Structure 1
């Protein structure tokens, strides 16, 4: 039995081939066959009667989403969705973007047994997340939501993207401390009042520091978009941008598979808690309020030692202003690559 990091690396290397997975290119068809083989290996139930593949077209371009179903004990309930996109932006391995998340999704799918949970779990691998399709009608998650679902709605969606790398600060380079390298961000806790408590009740594995931020700091960076705009509870996990983002240098050898394994374990635990927690519809009345500010500040304070925050010129956050200052520093060091 291989370790979780070894299994994840094997999956990443199986998908992240040199010619990439760009829509319409030969590598994309290779990726489609690989996904079919992985779903078959796991003996997953096809989501649709026609099989795992959910083809669609936009203009003259052909796309394919893939979806499987792990049945729960009550098919009348809305399912939980675990998803990631599998396409690449360029003809290159794109290991972090997004083979790592595909590997996480498949590993978690292998751990969930039929009727283990009350809710069905949809395992979805989406096409066409990358430009020029991003947030357009042909984006795989949008097309899945709008025309390929069974209309039961969604209990919650759990999406990941860019989760295989260590976080690095440009100003520190190789001297970036471990407390920063091990960061992962979870966005979307504001989408349902129960989510902050679920996150806090899910222990973070050793070697991982999970902070929570509201989606508006880095709005709709991936496939959680369609679930947010339709007001479903969602969580989006990401380690953000890094110097190899959308570059030919985003290769499997650059990823941290021990960290990816920890994120996989935590995501699996989050999914189990989401599936076991009632998430009744609620009316958003956030005007004039900020329901997750204290929660976000506390998560940052737990993850980053006060001494390190001081070295970065920051104070321990206790309010939205403190979170704003931390996120501003984080974005300057990671997202704004120039």
Structure 2
């Protein structure tokens, strides 16, 4: 018996060393997924400038229109959904865009993704998509989910109207993200991404703006799925940039740009898509077609107590903070649309 134990010691040492190496690899991979460039802003927020004050007012008006006037707008409230699409189309048109409707049918009804485009001047075949779904979940007016995202896309399109970018910019309002369409072939963004792939389009970045308007400085207001709760803050006062592993470079470029331009708390991660919440919006559809995509969000059910309820109303939204985030995203989009995707994010963007 003693002989067997002596002979097993080298094997035990090898197993111990292997366990140490594997633990180090796992730790390094985990660190690589959550380590982001730059530093999240901490401290008192500065006063809004005049542009941000105008943006705050416009975002409030857009959300009020989508929610207070249209109330629930989805497949079960079809007329309201059509009215929401018409409002978005007319708003894009008034901003000077030519609107394209990507229409498809489900259960003998027509549904529309709504798209406007700024063709790139130098590399027009490379496309940056900024999108959000404009439908609400059943039995909810959807002020935060996703009136904030839909309004943000609209205001960002207005901000870029008449400007020129190296890459092509597309602003898209997607239909039918919520159940029963969620992660099915009839999800609006999946219909869109499939058609883009079939057409051979080169989408180099997709930003999904999802549930972006609820913030709190109180400890314990932010929740996470394990093990994210071990490393991220407990106060829900930040905007999150979330992608899958393959979209890690895009996550890092986007949050680095945001942190350079905006004094507002931000967190980011490139995580396995299997972690609950990572794929819970329209970026998931682009992943299915091999495109890089990230979600910009207040983390929705992990923070927002009125998520998917009848109480998801405009009075719950912090429009001041939402305006700060959207203003920051304008700079992020400018960086992505002007700089080469594989260039270092530290480079200064060109002026329009």
**TM-score range for the pair, normalised by the shorter chain length:** 0.7 to 0.9
Quote the offset at 1:230 in angstroms.
2.8
Instruction: Give yes or no for contact 1:73–1:115 (8 Å, CA) kept in 2.
Output: no
Matched, 1:83 2:136: no
Any idea what SS the aligned residue of 1:57 has? strand
Larger Rg: 2
Instruction: Give yes or no for contact 2:217–2:237 (8 Å, CA) kept in 1.
Output: no
Any idea what SS the aligned residue of 2:186 has? coil
Mapping of residues 242-281 of structure 1, within 5 Å: 242-279=304-341
Question: For residue 4 of structure 1, what is the aligned residue in structure 2?
Answer: 55
Matched, 1:22 2:74: yes
Question: For residue 105 of structure 1, what is the aligned residue in structure 2?
Answer: 153
Q: Distance in 1 between matches of 2:65 and 2:288?
A: 33
Unaligned runs of 5+ in 2: 1-49, 223-232, 343-352
- Tell me: higher relative CO, structure 1 or 2? Use CA pairs within 8 A at least 6 residues apart: 2
Counterpart among 231, 250, 266 of residue 210 in structure 1:
266
Quote the offset at 1:80 in angstroms.
0.6
Instruction: Give yes or no for contact 2:116–2:170 (8 Å, CA) kept in 1.
Output: yes
Q: Distance in 2 between matches of 1:148 and 1:198?
A: 23
Quote the offset at 1:249 in angstroms.
0.5
Give CA-to-partner distance per residue, 1:133-154, whole Å, 9 cap, x none.
Answer: 0000100000011136753220
Quote the offset at 1:27 in angstroms.
1.2
Matched, 1:158 2:217: no
Question: For residue 238 of structure 2, what is the aligned residue in structure 1?
Answer: 183
Quote the offset at 1:193 in angstroms.
3.3
Give CA-to-partner distance per residue, 1:236-281, whole Å, 9 cap, x none.
Answer: 111112111011100011100011011101211111111223236x
Q: Report the structure, 1 or 2, having the larger helix content.
A: 2
In structure 2, the CA distance between the partners of 1:5 and 1:87, relative to structure 1 (3 Å rule), is: same
Question: For residue 226 of structure 1, what is the aligned residue in structure 2?
Answer: 285
Instruction: Give yes or no for contact 1:161–1:238 (8 Å, CA) kept in 2.
Output: yes
In structure 2, the CA distance between the partners of 1:193 and 1:92, relative to structure 1 (3 Å rule), is: closer
Give CA-to-partner distance per residue, 1:158-202, whole Å, 9 cap, x none.
Answer: 1111101114779569xxxx9824211101274153642452243
What is the count of residue pairs matched by the alignment?
Answer: 270
Any idea what SS the aligned residue of 1:180 has? coil
Matched, 1:135 2:194: no
Normalising by structure 2, we get a TM-score of 0.70
Q: Distance in 2 between matches of 1:211 and 1:200?
A: 10
Q: Distance in 2 between matches of 1:238 and 1:90?
A: 21
Quote the offset at 1:157 in angstroms.
0.5
Counterpart among 41, 48, 60 of residue 108 in structure 2:
60
Tell me the C-alpha RMSD between the 2 structures: 2.5
Quote the offset at 1:213 in angstroms.
1.8
